[in-house]
Chain A
Amino acid sequence: QQQVKQSPQSLIVQKGGISIINCAYENTAFDYFPWYQQFPGKGPALLIAIRPDVSEKKEGRFTISFNKSAKQFSLHIMDSQPGDSATYFCAASITTSGTYKYIFGTGTRLKVLA
Chain B
Amino acid sequence: EADIYQTPRYLVIGTGKKITLECSQTMGHDKMYWYQQDPGMELHLIHYSYGVNSTEKGDLSSESTVSRIRTEHFPLTLESARPSHTSQYLCASSRHRGNTIYFGEGSWLTVV
Stretch at the interface among B13-21, B71-79, B100-108: B100-108
Closest to B10 in A: A41
Interface size class of B (residues with CB under 8 A): 20 to 34
- Distance A44 CA – B88 CA, assembled complex (angstroms): 12
Chain B: minimal CB distance from A86 (Å) = 10
Q: Which residues of B contact A (CB under 8 A)?
A: 2, 31, 39-43, 45, 50, 90, 92, 94, 98-106
20 new A-B contacts at CB < 8 Å, known A34-B100, A36-B103, A104-B42 = A32-B99, A40-B40, A41-B105, A42-B106, A43-B90, A43-B104, A43-B105, A44-B43, A45-B2, A46-B100, A46-B102, A49-B99, A93-B99, A100-B94, A100-B98, A100-B99, A102-B45, A102-B101, A106-B42, A107-B41
Q: What's the tally of chain A residues with a CB closer than 8 Å to chain B?
A: 22
- Distance A100 CA – B87 CA, assembled complex (angstroms): 26
Q: B105 contacts which of A36, A42, A46, A104 (Cβ < 8 Å)?
A: A42
Chain A interface, >50% SS class: strand
9 example contacts (A-B, Cβ-Cβ < 8 A) are as follows A32-B99, A43-B104, A43-B106, A49-B99, A89-B42, A100-B94, A100-B98, A100-B99, A102-B45
Measured between beta carbons, the chain A residues less than 8 angstroms from B104 are 43
Measured between beta carbons, the chain A residues less than 8 angstroms from B99 are 32, 34, 49, 93, 100
Measured between beta carbons, the chain A residues less than 8 angstroms from B102 are 46
- Distance A85 CA – B45 CA, assembled complex (angstroms): 25
